[in-house]
């Protein structure tokens, strides 16, 4: 028997296969999808109750609260990114599969974003209304959250890969990721605040976009390297 | 002539202890390499090292005479690893699991129905793997190995959880694979009765 002579499937085959598998798994376990969403919704609903419902205060603090809640919800969900694969040994199988590991890592991160990041973007208009945001501002908020959650998922995948072998790595994971995630949150929250104050906010959107591009091109390689290290 | 799979001067240190030192082996098509040793002697570690998941202190593993580290993807395309943990998703059914594995590899022309039949798992196709017994899950992992249709099999304790029939089946399958010119590295406690050229590494 000689080495395989037939073509290996293209790199997108691996990306699509793993994204599909993870989405299927999430479909069978909807709890994983709902957890970060619940957390996000709860923080955003409780905050006005605690600080009082005066309109000025809510308009002022709305972007910040929504963004902090989104950041924390994403951080909490990241721990599970590679955890179950590590526990049942399928991570080992991914490491010896003939597909390039960065592509598989990107596929897993993409699926994770669809499961836990994208729902936050979709639900944010509902919560924004509680903070008396106008419709144009809600659009800006959704755009920043869309770009921001992609960044956070990608950055978080590096941390999740580094801490995958550790039990209770959530705290460490958050510590590792926060310095990288902070600029995303600052950019996002300030962009929405600027938009709410009728000032130019395009710079913030562009900067977030640049962050996304940088993260997509670099994070998968870092994640793949981290997975190899923590699986030794 | 260089062997298809070979290793020289392998040394692995885990923590304070040296698991093996100056280890060598060579394996050609149609041959079986058995790793022997007590629990904790480093059989699984050696297997992980062969699969390229552990970095060794010294030494290198060669595939077709080239270091594995320089052709990782090609090497991984030629091997399948039956690990201690099956690496299958408990929430997915047998078919969903194997379809995913199939997408990662080149599409081999194998008769899936015949493989299911041989492993006596065809009636379990629609059940989530979680509901199967450990031995049945092992059989699914064997199905994945057969479907990959690659020359090198790495089998870590392949007989775990299997009944007498299942153990015989693993030996038969391995024998057939070797007869077709395949190669197999096996970590095993018990005696294997396989009719092929057998090499042994004692750890």
pLDDT tens digits for range B94-153: 888 888 888 888 777 788 888 888 888 888 888 898 898 988 899 999 998 888 888 999
Residue at A170 is within a domain = yes
Supply the pLDDT for residue A5.
Answer: 45
pLDDT confidence band for A8 (50 / 70 / 90):
low
Give the structural domain span for A71.
11-230
In chain A, the N- to C-terminal Cα span, in Å, equals: 31
More confidently predicted of B93 and B55: B93
pTM of the model: 0.90
Average per-residue pLDDT for chain B: 86
Supply the pLDDT for residue B191.
Answer: 76
Neighbours of B2 (CB within 10 A): 11
Residue pLDDT, tens place only, B34-44: 988 888 888 88
Q: Which of A17, A20, A25 sits opposite B91 (nearest CB)?
A: A25
Please report, for residues A17, A88, A105, A170, the alpha-carbon distance to residue A223 in angstroms, rounded to integers and kept in the order given.
18, 19, 7, 17
Residue pLDDT, tens place only, A10-58: 778 889 999 999 999 999 888 877 888 999 999 999 988 888 878 888 8
Q: Which of B74, B87, B103 sits opposite A90 (nearest CB)?
A: B87
Residue at A70 is within a domain = yes
Supply the pLDDT for residue A167.
Answer: 75
Residue at A105 is within a domain = yes
How many structural domains compose chain A? 1
Supply the pLDDT for residue A136.
Answer: 87
CB contact under 8 A, A9 and B181: no
Residue at A4 is within a domain = no
Residue at A147 is within a domain = yes
Q: Quick one: which of B51, B102, B77 has its CA closest to A8?
A: B77
Residue at A1 is within a domain = no
Question: Quick one: average pLDDT of A155-160?
Answer: 92
Residue at A3 is within a domain = no
CB contact under 8 A, B87 and A28: no
Residue at A2 is within a domain = no
CB contact under 8 A, B55 and A24: no
Supply the pLDDT for residue A1.
Answer: 44
What are the chain A neighbours of B74 within 8 Å (beta carbons)?
Answer: 3, 98
Supply the pLDDT for residue A7.
Answer: 61
pLDDT confidence band for A6 (50 / 70 / 90):
low
Name the DSSP letter for residue A117.
I
The size of the A-B interface in CB pairs under 8 A is: 101
């Amino acid at each position: 028997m000689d080495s395989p002579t037939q073509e290996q499937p293209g790199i997108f085959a691996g990306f699509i296969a793993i994204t599909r598998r993870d989405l299927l798994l999430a479909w069978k376990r909807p709890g994983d999808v709902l957890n970060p969403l619940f957390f996000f919704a709860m923080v955003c609903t409780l905050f006005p109750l605690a600080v009082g419902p005066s309109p000025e205060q809510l308009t002022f603090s709305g972007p910040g609260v929504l963004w902090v809640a989104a950041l924390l919800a994403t951080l909490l969900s990241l721990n599970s990114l590679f955890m179950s694969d590590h526990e049942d040994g399928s991570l080992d199988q991914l490491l010896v599969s003939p597909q390039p590991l960065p592509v598989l890592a990107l596929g897993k991160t993409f699926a994770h974003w669809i499961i836990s990041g994208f729902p936050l973007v979709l639900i944010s208009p509902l919560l924004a209304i509680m903070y008396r945001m106008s419709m144009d501002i809600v659009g800006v908020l959704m755009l920043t959250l869309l770009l921001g959650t992609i960044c956070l998922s990608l950055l978080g995948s590096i941390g999740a890969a580094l801490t995958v072998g550790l039990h209770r790595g959530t705290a460490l994971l958050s510590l590792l990721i926060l310095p990288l995630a902070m600029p995303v949150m600052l950019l996002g929250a300030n962009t929405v605040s600027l938009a709410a104050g009728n000032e130019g906010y395009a710079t913030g959107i562009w900067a977030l976009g640049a962050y996304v591009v940088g993260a997509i091109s670099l994070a998968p390689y870092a994640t793949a390297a981290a997975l190899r290290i923590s699986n030794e | 002539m260089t062997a298809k799979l070979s290793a020289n001067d392998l040394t692995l240190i885990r923590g304070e202890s040296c698991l093996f030192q100056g280890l060598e082996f060579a394996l050609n098509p149609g041959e079986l390499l058995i790793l022997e040793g007590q629990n904790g002697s480093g059989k699984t570690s050696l297997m992980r090292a062969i699969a390229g998941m552990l970095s060794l202190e010294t030494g290198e593993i060669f595939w077709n005479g080239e270091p594995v580290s320089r052709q990782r993807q090609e090497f991984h395309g030629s091997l399948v690893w039956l690990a201690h943990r099956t690496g299958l998703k408990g929430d997915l059914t047998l078919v969903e699991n194997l379809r995913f594995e199939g997408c990662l590899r080149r599409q081999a022309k194998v008769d899936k129905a015949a493989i299911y039949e041989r492993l006596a798992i065809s009636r379990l196709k629609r059940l989530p793997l979680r509901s199967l017994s450990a031995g049945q899950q092992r059989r699914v992992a064997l199905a994945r190995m057969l479907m990959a249709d690659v020359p090198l099999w790495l089998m870590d304790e392949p007989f775990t959880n299997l009944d007498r029939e299942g153990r015989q089946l693993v030996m038969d399958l391995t024998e057939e694979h070797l007869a077709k010119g395949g190669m197999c590295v096996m970590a095993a406690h018990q005696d294997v009765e396989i009719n092929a050229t057998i090499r042994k590494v004692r750890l």
